[in-house]
Amino acid sequence: MPAETFTGITLARILRPRGLRGELAAEILTDFPERLPDLREVWLADGRSAPRRTKVRRCWLSPSRGGQAIFHFDGIENAEAAERLRGCEVQIPLEERVKLDPGNYYVGELIGCEVWESGAAAAMGAVRDVEFPGGVPLLAVETQEGEVLVPLAAEFCVRIDVNAKRIEVALPEGLRDLNRT
């Protein structure tokens, strides 16, 4: 896969070198950290140039500092070489991300979806963000009247089709006015 066509998802962000042998401590940014030690190849993205493919020599999870991944990449043999990777994102191709059970979605799949009320002739708006205030996540829907927060729950979001970028909702009377921000 050529680097210029690479579409990846970020699993971790490199924080700093760890030790003198080229190991790197990384902030875990995935809900599935248990798969990190099994990675054999990743893409490193620095935000300035195309991501580059890199072999993972070893990775393990460390409980220090609230939980980190420790990576050791091929060709990174000392702290000086490791320092050059500070801030890089550890990515995998989008198609290699964990497959979710039916009814579960990645936030990125929901953002941009048009939201349609049952029986409406036009979309009420599009999902701008997904908020996690505790409890049920909320879809932040940008409408012509302003933002409306819709609970991401089966009783409100009656049909979600991320491939068609469409969410059908059944909103109870007054919900639009209740939580308009």
Contact (Cβ atoms closer than 8 angstroms) between residue 150 and residue 141:
yes
Q: First-to-last CA distance in the chain?
A: 44
What pLDDT is stored for residue 180 in this prediction? 54
In which element (H, E) is residue 171 found? none
What pLDDT is stored for residue 145 in this prediction? 86
What pLDDT is stored for residue 179 in this prediction? 60
In which element (H, E) is residue 178 found? helix 175-178
What pLDDT is stored for residue 63 in this prediction? 86
Using DSSP bridges, classify how beta strands 157-161 and 146-151 pair: parallel, antiparallel or unpaired.
unpaired
Is pTM beyond 0.75? Reply is no
Domain boundaries, the chain: 3-96, 107-178
Percentage of residues in the chain having pLDDT higher than 70: 95
What pLDDT is stored for residue 1 in this prediction? 46
What pLDDT is stored for residue 124 in this prediction? 93
Topology of the domain covering 3-96: Elongation Factor Tu (Ef-tu); domain 3 (2.40.30)
Which residues of the chain register pLDDT less than 70?
A: 1-4, 178-181
CATH class assigned to 107-178: mainly beta
